[in-house]
Every structure is written in C-alpha cells, then in structure tokens.
Structure 1
Amino acid sequence: MNFMSDKSIKKLLHSWYTMLKHRHFSKAEDIKTTLTKHKRRLAKKQELYLHYQLMLFRHQLWMNQTEELAKLKHELMLHKDQMNEELQYYFYFFLGLYESLNSDQNDAIHYIEMAEERLPLLNDELEEAEFHFRTSGIYYNNRYSLLSIRHVQKAIDIFAKHGDVHSIYRCKIVLALNFSDQKKYEEAEAIFFDIIEYVKMIDDQELLGIVYYDAGFIQSRQNRHKEALEYFKKSLRLPAYRKSTHSYVSCLYETVRSCFKENLTEEGMKYIQKGLKEAVASQFDILRMKFQILFLLYSQTPKADEQIATLVTCLEQKEAWIDLEDLLADVSDYYKKKGDFERAAFFIMRG
C-alpha cells in the first residue's frame, strides 16, 4: 500500500465529495475504495477520520444504504463535539438531508438551519450553491414555496457565475415544482419541456427518470392523470432510474394514485404490490403505509376503514402532515363517490 500524507488524504476527501455532488458515482466509488484501504491509518487521526466518516455518510445517503446510514449516524452523533466548524457544517447539512429523506421534515429543517450558521466559515461559493440547492428541496417538500424559491434562486445565481450549466438545470427542476405548488402550471410545464430536452441531450438516464416523474407529478396536480401516467411509465421503463430509490418508489406510488383516478383498479393493484415490496426493502416506512392505505381502500377488505384509521394514526405520530393532506383527500373522495358521507367526513377531518 502506497504511503499517503495527511494533505493528500484531505485532498482526496474533498475530491470524493466533489464526485458525489456531480453524480460521478463510479469515480466516487473508486475514491472510497482507495481511502478505505487507509482506514487503519485514518483512525489514528481524529479529524481526518471524522471527515472520512462524514463523506462515507454522504456516499451512503446517495446510494440509499439505509441500514449502514443509521449506524453511522449514531457514531457521528457521539463525536459531533470533537468536530471542527467545517466538519460540523457537513455533519448538520448531511443530517438534514438524511432526515428529509426519512420524511422527518421538522428535524431536517432544524439541522439545515444549524448548517447554515456555519456555512460562511467555509468561504466556498460552490458549496454555498450546493447548500442552497439542497435546502430549496427540503423547503419544497414542506410546501414553503417562497423560502424554497429564495434558496434555489441563490443557487442559480452562483452556478451561473461559475458557468455550471448542469447544476442550473438541476435547480430549475425545484423551481418548476414550486411554480406547480403556486398553480403556475404553464410556467412549470415550459421549464420541464426545456429540462427534458437538455437531459436527453446529455443522455443521463437516471436523471431523465427523475425529470419524467416530476413532470408527471405536475400533471397529476392538475388532475390530468392520463397524461401523468404517460410520464410515470416513461420513468419506470428506464433501468437506470431504479438507482434513485426514493424517487423510484415515489413514482410507483403516484402511478397507483393515477391508475385509481382513471379507474384502472387492476393495474393499480399490480403497482401497489411492486411498490410495497420496494418500500419495505428500502425501509421507506411512510411510503409503505401510504401503499397499504390505498390497498385497503380499493380492495375493501373487511373493516378496511378501521385499519386505514390505524395507519393514519401512525402517520400522524410520524408528523407526516404533507403526506396526510393529499392521502386523506383521496380516501375521503373514495368514500364520497361510494355515497358513504359519514366515512368521507371522518377522514377529511383527520387532515
């Protein structure tokens, strides 16, 4: 094994993070392998070792290695007070992204705010842009459109200054989704047409799957479920899209919703089985419960409403308010169409 100086290791740690930010996953994996060979030496240098663990956490977050993430999070928590300001920034930033992925949005925002306090200490414009871009996604997930747009615009301005066209297009995805939340559907769709052409040109199949899903989601928000299904199915046909596990499982869920809205119950049930399997495998508990609720609703097993109410309580305990808002509207609409106004009222009041 070749000797590496502390300076070389630190440079390699920064390169690892850069490769992850630019979605160069094979290069990131190579750097991870190289650094892992030096793990015993790293363990003797606390600052370098904590830096290594933080980058490993970000790497596993990208790869959705859920079980390893929980263990590593616990270990990092024990050593957060030994981190310098730069490492504490990464710690809180990555923790915010982790909690957002787990749909614990209150904790996500708390950690992101703690990271932002330390951001100026890095004196790194491109990291500032990355932070604002990721933060805009967290605020979008909480339907704080104005805050999300403010952060994504900051990111766009910095990326434009550095001529980073690819990152600008990533930001445009969040911008378009926010426009959809504001019911500016024409503006949102125009942005997505532009993004789709760009992603086709660079031939990033994984990103194309994400973009098709988001474009379909905008259609479903307008109750144009036939058009939404066309986009969702384009996403699901792309093998590379499966790498973006959370987006992929979310796409399966939205496909189920749109199938049921179009009275394609049998097809919807097939997607539920697939979605449930994926949600369980990836430990996406909130998505798993949402699939279970739709299954109970449309299969109408005995005492389905009682089982649905139990799952709703579980979602409430997880404070999944955004998920519940849309889901309970679907449940209420189902019972309303069946003429069961008592159950329809019960579930809409839970929202």
Structure 2
Amino acid sequence: MNPVLSSSEVGVKINEWYKMIRQFSVPDAEILKAEVEQEINQMEEDEYLLIYFSLMKFRHQLMLDYLEPVTTRIRPTIDELLEKIEASNKGITGLLSYYSLFFRGMYEFDKREYVKAIGFYREAEKHLTHVNDDIEKAEFHFKLAEAYYIMKQNHISMHHVKQAMDIYNQYELYKVRKIQCHFVISGNYVDFKHFEKSLPHLEKALELSKQLERNERLLSSAYYNLGKNYADLGINDKADHFLNEAAKVSESAKLSNLPHSLFTYAKFLFKQGKTSEAIKMSKKGLSAAISQGDKLFVSLQKYLEALYINAVDQVGIKKTIDYLERNKNYAYVEDIAIDTAEVFAKSKEFETSYVYHQKMLETQKQIQRGECLYEF
C-alpha cells in the first residue's frame, strides 16, 4: 500500500512545476506534471490543492499551445479544464482566485478576445496583494503590457513592460519572457513612430531566440517583427528577407502564427507591386487561416483580396471593417483605413480617399479614448 502523502509535499512539487512552466522548460515541466499527477492520487484530501492542481494543468496547456505546432494542440482538453475550474472555483479567494482570473485572461488573449482578456486581468489585479513571488508579479505585468499594446494603449503598455523587464533582468532563466518583452517594447516604439528605437530591441530578441532550443515560435516572431520594422524604415530588401524568413519558419514548424505571417508578407508584396507573388502568399494565408479556424485572418485576407485583387471592392472592405469593429480590433481598422485611403489617392479618387482618411481619424480617436477598457 502506498503511503499517504501530505498536501504540503505535493504543493511544493506543484510550485516547482509552475517554475518550469514560466521558464518555458517543456521537458522539465512534463516530468513534474507526470509526477504530480501520480502523487495527487496518493495525497490526503485537500480541496484547495486540487483546485491549484487543476489551474496548473490549465496553465501548462497554455504554455504548450504557445510553443507547439497547431497539429499537436488539444483544444478540447483546455476547454474541459476551463469548465472544471469554473465549476469548482465558486467561493475561492486569495491566491487561487488570482490564478483563476489571470489564467483565464491568458486564455482569452490566446483566442484574440483582447477586451475580455484585459477584463480578467483587471479582476486578477484585485488579488495581486496575495502574490509574494517576484516572477509571478513580472508575469502579470508582462501579460497586461502585451494586452494593452494590442489595444494601442501604448503608454500603459510601456508602464507595465518596464516593471516586468526590471524583474526578469534579475534572473538568468527567463529568456523567453525577456524576448517577448523586447517585442512589446519594440511594438510600442513603432506605434510612437520611433522606428529607430524599435530596431535594437528586435535585434536583441533575435540574438536571444537563436540561443534557445525549441525556438521556432520565437524565431519566427523575431524575423517577422524585424521585417515590419525595416519596412517602416523603408529598407525594403531587408524587410522582404525577414518577412519571408518568418513565413518559412512558421510554415515549416506548422505554427499558429502562420496566418499572421502570411498576411503581413502578402500585404508588403502588394504594396511593392509584386502582385503575382502577393496573390500566392495571400491565397496560402487564407488557406492557413481557414485550416486553423482563425476568423480574424480569414477576414483580413479577404480584405487584401477586396483591395488589391478585385479592383477595390468597397463592399468587401466594409465587411472586414465591420467585423473588426464588432470585435474592437481597432488597430487593424486604422491600418486598413490608411492603406485604402492611399490606394484611392494614387488613383486620384480623392473623395473616396477622404472617406477612408476620416475613418482612420475616427478610429484613432476611438483608440485614444479606450473607453471599453476603463468602465467601472
């Protein structure tokens, strides 16, 4: 008969497991997960720890979903985990309540439900006083920085990413998060139109990415962001090289960011007048988005088709803008309005160009107001 283990013993091992998850150390995390799953059955009854265990399985799957190819994802499992957690978390308080809300925010962010994600993060923040671990505080600030960056709340994003980076820089084992912080800092600088300040952060991210094993996701993101940065700087040969590399890595490794990479590369090629190459990339991107069930990039690829292939189909463009506005993806609305205004201006259809220019200004006001993020 196996001896009964104390919940404190198992709790210590779950904490170690979580450390490996936060370091993106997949082999160590998998070993500890298997050990905890075995020991949890030999443990004295402890409802608190069982909920903690369920939360950590959920967080473990979020890590795998970020790093692993799409074909290895087990989405029904993560949905089942979420259902179990929400069924058992009624009445939980303190640290468990923080984890429940924080991890749910991460899940919503992964689904591109950015407003929902920020809502859960803000609820989690109310329980942040129960968190004594510096790295966990860094995790919280990083995830908020990431979400606010996506929603174009750049000053708030910079405030949080600085707090995260200050903590991560004190530790050697968190290279993945340091790379991701460089991405967020770079993206904010781009939104501030300081393209030259963005570049060193991306070069550092690429350098760190090459030092890691299982680095395809981070490597593709580094190439992608460098490509966009060089395009912003008008250095088109380097932009083409890095965007192409990003798409190749994402396709080869079957990564979830493939639709995003192919959309951006196709858009760049269309703007460069390389129409046949652009159409090929756009079709490949649409196929990848449909295959992954990625509604956002299905809509965005159809926008490229409407703007560049179908002789500027304004009905198709409006469909994409309506979809983006319903989902509060204002950053994409702004980009679409700018690009469409430019296309009409080049063809000397200035009245129509003006309409899209006004849409751009209206969207920028919406972004600056950010009212959906500050309701009490």
What TM-score does the superposition give when structure 2 sets the normalisation length?
0.81
How far, CA to CA, are the matches of 1:316 and 1:249 in structure 2?
Answer: 20
User: 1:172 maps to what in 2?
Assistant: 182
Cα offset, 1:279, TM superposition: 2.0
Q: Secondary structure at the match of 2:85?
A: helix
| Aligned mates of 1:146, 1:31 — CA distance in 2 | 39
1:292 aligned onto 2:302: yes
> Once the 2 structures are TM-superposed, how far is the Cα of residue 119 of structure 1 from its aligned partner?
1.8
1:196–1:269 CA distance, 2 compared to 1 (3 A) = same
Select the residue among 171, 181, 190 that pairs with 2:191. 181
Considering only aligned residues, what root-mean-square deviation do their CA atoms show, in Å?
3.0
Specify which of 221, 228, 234 is matched with residue 210 of structure 1.
221
Cα distance in 2, alignment partners of residues 56 and 220 from structure 1: 41
CA–CA distance in structure 2, aligned partners of residues 13 and 90 of structure 1: 13
Could you tell me how far apart the structure 1 residues matched to 2:251 and 2:130 are?
37
SS of structure 2 residue aligned to 1:23: coil
Tell me whether 1:150 sits opposite 2:151 in the alignment: no
Contact kept? 1:331, 1:347, Cα under 8 Å: yes
Does residue 229 (structure 1) correspond to residue 229 (structure 2)? The answer is no
Q: 1:346 to 1:130 in 2, by over 3 A?
A: same
Greater shift after overlay, 137-146 or 337-346? 337-346
TM-superposed deviation, 1:282: 2.8
- For structure 2, the residue ranges without an aligned partner over 5 or more in a row are 66-72, 361-376
TM-score, with structure 1 as normaliser: 0.86
* Cα displacement (A) at 1:121: 0.7
1:326 CA displacement: 0.8
Q: How many aligned positions are there?
A: 349
Question: Given that residues 290 and 327 in structure 1 are in contact (C-alpha distance below 8 angstroms), is that contact kept between their aligned partners in structure 2?
Answer: no
Partner of 1:262: 272
> Which structure carries more relative contact order (alpha carbon 8 Å, separation 6+)?
2
8 Å Cα contact 1:225/1:258 also seen in 2: no
**Per the alignment, do residues 142 and 199 of structure 1 end up closer, same or farther by CA in structure 2, a change over 3 Å counting?**
same
- Mapped partners of 1:48, 1:281: distance in 2: 38
In structure 1, list runs of 5 or more residues that go unmatched: none
CA-to-aligned-CA distance 1:225-277 (integer Å, 9 cap, x gap):
4432211222233369846523x332221111111111122212222222223
Could you tell me whether the CA contact under 8 Å between 2:286 and 2:298 is conserved in 1? yes
Q: Determine the C-alpha separation between the residues in 2 that align with 1:76 and 1:205.
A: 31
Q: Which moved more, 1:48-57 or 1:262-271?
A: 48-57
> In structure 2, how many angstroms separate the alpha carbons of the residues matched to 1:88 and 1:55?
13
How many percent identity over aligned positions? 24
Pair 1:199–1:344, CA change in 2 (3 A):
same
The amino acid of 1:196's aligned partner reads L
Matches within 5 A, 1:14-93: 14-36=15-37, 45-64=46-65, 65=73, 66-93=75-102
1:317 is aligned to 326
Question: d(CA) in 1 for partners of 2:154 and 2:97?
Answer: 28
The counterpart of 1:238, out of the listed 245, 249, 252, is 249
Go from structure 1 to structure 2 and tell me whether the alpha carbon gap of 1:128 and 1:2 turns closer, same or farther (over 3 Å shift): farther
